[in-house]
Structure 1
Amino acid sequence: MLRRGLEAISRWSANVTAVVACITGITMVITLLVGIFFRYVMQASLSWPEEVALLTFTWTVFLTASLGVREDFHVRVTLLRDALPNNAAIWLERLLLVGIGGFALAMFWYGWEFAEFTQRQVSPAIRYPLWIRNAAVPVAGALMLLHVAARLSRPAWHRPDANVETSL
């Protein structure tokens, strides 16, 4: 029951995260294009596109990183894992997930502290509170923790990439 609940919450949050990451990514590109258009075509630089692009870039990167934990699409070297027998490889994967969970916990904890530290600061051009940008780190950390918990709740023999062949 707990496993199904964690998996359902993880799947739902990943779907929402993917939509938000797409929106922030598209917003970033549009904002940069507007800035380029005004600078080079209209010969009038705007002060806000870089700040909006940085805000949306930060959220896009951290949200997508949390999706990488759920979907296991981060780049990594699997030389050791591939050399191990199947049972040992499975337990190595689980140990790595625990390590990722520790990193995610640090992201959440220290990201929260940093967002609090910057809660009274504002951006120079458009004056939005900087904690909004900095909150991407603890939010991503919390999402990563959720996805790690869901992956660890799966049966130990569940290895989604067991039949995938890769070549360089």
Structure 2
Amino acid sequence: MKSIALGLGVIARIALWGAAVGLALMTAFIAWQVFGRYVLNSTPIWTEQTSILLMGWFIFLGAAVGIREGYHLSFDILIHVIPRWLKLIFFTISDICVVGFSVGMVVYGWQLVEGTWEATMPSLGIPDGVAFLSLVSGGFLMIVFSLERIARRAAGLPTARFGETDLFEEE
């Protein structure tokens, strides 16, 4: 289990760096677009579509890492007042729900990829389906990371750095 967690940690770190690079590039491309439009009076045609593609990637990769680390949105007031064993059940239910949602992202995202692959983005000259690959990739990583959280919990492993820092401390 430890080697799997280390491997998934590397994948999560790569995804997080990819998201960070995507965000930085999107910011630079939008700045170039604004500079080109208002200073050079010549708007580069590729910057907007490229920025939208990058946005999809950094959103879904960042969301997947957030799932792994336990930083996803949650309503956790109840978690602070219930016993440890019930916390484990609630966290597991939450992870199962994330897996179900992520399976939908992968399945329907792949249908979008297939359905739009034949069309071409005019400004970039690449298939339209490329825009939805981030949805599929992010959904797949969310499934893997949620299953890792469930497996760690089932094995009784401490989940510090995985969003459940106080579950294995003595009450």
Q: TM-score, normalised by structure 2?
A: 0.87
Residues of 1 paired with 2:159 and 2:85: CA distance?
10
The aligned residue for residue 106 of structure 2 is 108
SS at match of 1:155: helix
Equivalent residue runs for 1:70-149 within 5 Å = 70-149=68-147
Residues of 2 paired with 1:51 and 1:138: CA distance?
19
Q: TM-score, normalised by structure 1?
A: 0.89
Contact 2:152 2:159 in 1 (8 A): no
The share of aligned pairs that are identical, in percent, is 22
Residues of 2 paired with 1:140 and 1:24: CA distance?
14
Q: Mean Cα displacement is larger for which, 79-88 or 47-56?
A: 79-88
Deviation of 1:5 (Å): 4.2
Contact 1:6 1:149 in 2 (8 A): no
Cα distance change of structure 1 residues 77 and 23 upon mapping to structure 2, 3 Å threshold: same
Residue by residue over 1:9-53, the C-alpha shift from the partner in whole angstroms, topping out at 9 and shown as x without a partner, is 321210111121122111111110100100111122222111111
Contact 1:123 1:130 in 2 (8 A): yes
Total equivalences in the alignment? 162
Residues of 1 paired with 2:153 and 2:48: CA distance?
46
Residues of 1 paired with 2:153 and 2:60: CA distance?
28
Alpha-carbon RMSD across the aligned residues, in angstroms, is 1.7
Residues of 2 paired with 1:137 and 1:57: CA distance?
11
Cα distance change of structure 1 residues 159 and 86 upon mapping to structure 2, 3 Å threshold: farther
Cα distance change of structure 1 residues 87 and 8 upon mapping to structure 2, 3 Å threshold: same
Residue identity matched to 2:69? E
Deviation of 1:154 (Å): 0.7
The match for 2:148 among 130, 150, 159 is 150
The aligned residue for residue 27 of structure 1 is 25
SS at match of 2:148: helix
SS at match of 1:33: helix
- Runs of 5+ consecutive residues of structure 2 not aligned to the other structure: none
Residues of 1 paired with 2:84 and 2:165: CA distance?
9
Residue by residue over 1:114-155, the C-alpha shift from the partner in whole angstroms, topping out at 9 and shown as x without a partner, is 111111111132222121121111111111111011111113
The match for 1:59 among 33, 57, 61 is 57
Residue by residue over 1:88-128, the C-alpha shift from the partner in whole angstroms, topping out at 9 and shown as x without a partner, is 01111011101111111111111111111111111132222
